[in-house]
Amino acid sequence: MGEQRAKIITVGIQKGGCGKTTTSGILAYFLSQDKNKVLVVDMDSQGNVTDLLTQEDVEYFEEKTVLEAFKDGSVEEYIYQVNDYLHVVPADDYLATLAKLLYTEMNYKNQNLALKEILEPVIYDYDYIIIDTPPSLSEPMVNAVCASDYVIVLAESSKWAFTAVPRFLETVEYAQAHVNPDLKVLGLLRTMNDTRRADSKAFVDLMEEYWPDICFDVVIKRKASIGRISMEGLFNNKELSSALEQYKLFYKELKERV
Ligand SMILES: Nc1ncnc2c1ncn2[C@@H]1O[C@H](COP(=O)(O)OP(=O)(O)OP(=O)(O)O)[C@@H](O)[C@H]1O
Ligand SMILES: [Mg+2]
């Protein structure tokens, strides 16, 4: 057990398909390769980061997911070990029932702080806890933000991602004002930049103009090998170094900000 509390980082935006899962998986991978103990918590009922990191069929995790951890009051019994440094609390479709259960059967004093509470028993076991979130400002997302020390805002270079950012930042401000005053925005990562499209570049520039203080310098481009990480995974992936090229720059900037 370490002497320091894990740094908890949420990767979020309520717009779907901005690269949250890809980014949280890659970030956890980099941190674990650097010999940090990392726990990834899947707060999305799609279970994509579970799939990406464990390469197991979703059936494998039946009744062994973060939802059961909420019922139990601790994640301890629901940690899957990918290797010594990288662990995952998985999710499956049933996580969609979390909101209902939080307001009926479960007895958390504050429904927004339930995730924080169930992570507490393992907080000294890890250097980092990375939380992947669903594409909505629902209970799993709010719980992730309220449990975190840092959030990374993700936005693909498109209009609907651009318009989602201020509303996501409002959610962060709500958490800061009500339950989590130390929460910090680590940065806004612009993703899926399609260099052939002028409108894509326009949104990259617009985000820089609106949020100059938080934009990461690196902009992640649309690239087939990054997309194929969803199929090939991060281990035994022949094109991994090409896929991770741009993300290496992001990781470097991120380490300077944490
Ligand atoms: N830079 C990229 N270039 C090409 N494809 C990418 C890139 N980043 C992610 N993808 C692919 O785009 C899709 C969406 O990415 P991802 O699942 O990471 O986004 P998400 O924000 O987690 O989505 P959701 O909101 O559904 O959870 C996936 O199929 C992924 O493999
Ligand atoms: Mg996702």
Q: Which atom of ligand 1 is nearest to the CA of 13?
A: 21
Q: Which atom of ligand 1 is nearest to the CA of 15?
A: 25
Identify the pLDDT of residue 236: 94
Residue 17 CA, ligand 2 centroid: distance in Å: 7
Query: Max CA-CA distance within the chain?
Result: 52
Q: Which atom of ligand 1 is nearest to the CA of 16?
A: 25
Residue nearest to atom 3 of ligand 1 (CA): 222
Q: Which residues contact 117 (CB under 8 A, 6 or more apart)?
A: 73, 108
Identify the pLDDT of residue 116: 98
Residue 1 CA, ligand 2 centroid: distance in Å: 30
In a domain, 108, yes or no: yes
In a domain, 21, yes or no: yes
Taking the CA of 16 as reference, the closest ligand is 1
| 199: pLDDT strictly greater than 80 | yes
- Whether pTM > 0.95 for this model: the answer is yes
- The mean of the pLDDT values for the chain is 97
Q: What is the mean pLDDT of residues 197-211?
A: 97
pLDDT digits (tens, 9 = 90+) for 59-117: 999 999 999 999 999 999 999 999 999 999 999 999 999 999 999 999 999 999 999 99
Domain that holds residue 124: 7-257
In a domain, 2, yes or no: no
Q: What is the mean pLDDT of residues 234-238?
A: 97
DSSP 109-175: SSGGGHHHHHHGGGTTT-SEEEEE--SSSSHHHHHHHHH-SEEEEEEESSHHHHHHHHHHHHHHHHH
Q: Check pocket membership of 135 for ligand 1, CB cut-off 6 A.
A: yes
Q: For residue 177, name the pLDDT band (cuts at 50, 70, 90).
A: very high
Q: For residue 37, name the pLDDT band (cuts at 50, 70, 90).
A: very high
Residue 179 CA, ligand 2 centroid: distance in Å: 25
In a domain, 1, yes or no: no
Closest listed residue to residue 94, CA positions, set 142, 153, 147, 46: 46
Q: Check pocket membership of 191 for ligand 1, CB cut-off 6 A.
A: yes
How many structural domains does the chain have?
Answer: 1
Identify the pLDDT of residue 2: 79
| 221: pLDDT strictly greater than 90 | yes
Residue 169 CA, ligand 1 centroid: distance in Å: 21
Taking the CA of 42 as reference, the closest ligand is 2
Q: Check pocket membership of 110 for ligand 1, CB cut-off 6 A.
A: no
Taking the CA of 23 as reference, the closest ligand is 1
Q: What is the CATH number of the domain that holds 57?
A: 3.40.50.300
Instruction: Looking at the chain, list the stretches that DSSP marks H as alpha helix, in order from N- to C-terminal side.
Output: 20-33, 48-54, 66-72, 98-102, 114-119, 139-147, 159-178, 198-210, 224-227, 229-232, 240-257
The amino acid occupying position 29 is Y
Site to substitute for ligand 1 among 11, 22, 197, most atoms within 8 A of C-beta? 22
Q: Check pocket membership of 91 for ligand 1, CB cut-off 6 A.
A: no
